[in-house]
């Protein structure tokens, strides 16, 4: 099955700095890579995703890059704000019917004012 590794487990930055979270996956059949944000006590919610036919995608202050050859993808947050503080999860899944999202272990991002 798929295995997703995520680093770092904790990331502490000053407000206005950039934050980068990296993930690697093992299954070359994976073709969908979402990122979820989970605030304390809440459900995870999608913030951005990328498919295997695209190398980079950007949405305002967040961007995701994908390197299919190396099997890794990254989340970039620029101009961080205190409200960006949360746990971020990467995930990978493949087509074929079950679409099982395999998640990384999460990164706790702390943005200091």
Interface contacts to another protein, rule CB under 8 A = 9, 31-32, 34, 40-46, 49, 87, 89, 91, 93-95, 97-103, 105-106, 108
The alpha-carbon radius of gyration of the chain (Å, integer) is: 14
End-to-end C-alpha distance for the chain, whole angstroms: 41
Closer to another protein at the Cβ: 14 or 43? 43
Range list of β-strands (E), 1-113: 4-7, 10-14, 19-25, 32-38, 45-51, 56-59, 62-67, 72-77, 86-92, 102-103, 107-112
Closer to another protein at the Cβ: 24 or 94? 94
| Smallest distance from another protein to CB 83, Å | 19
Closer to another protein at the Cβ: 46 or 54? 46
Distance CA 26, CA 13 (A): 29
| Smallest distance from another protein to CB 13, Å | 19
Closer to another protein at the Cβ: 14 or 40? 40
| Structural tokens at position 17 | 């700095």
| Smallest distance from another protein to CB 80, Å | 20
């Amino acid at each position: 099955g798929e295995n997703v590794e995520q680093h770092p487990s904790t990331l502490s930055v000053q407000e206005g700095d950039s934050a980068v979270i990296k993930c690697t996956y093992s299954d070359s059949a994976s073709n969908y890579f979402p990122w979820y944000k989970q605030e304390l006590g809440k459900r995870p919610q999608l913030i951005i995703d990328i498919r295997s036919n695209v190398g980079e995608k950007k949405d305002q202050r967040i961007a995701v890059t994908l390197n299919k050859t190396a099997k890794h993808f990254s989340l970039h947050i620029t101009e961080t704000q205190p409200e960006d503080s949360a746990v971020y999860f990467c995930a990978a899944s493949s087509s074929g019917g079950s679409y099982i999202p395999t998640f990384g272990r999460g990164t706790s991002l702390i943005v200091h004012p």
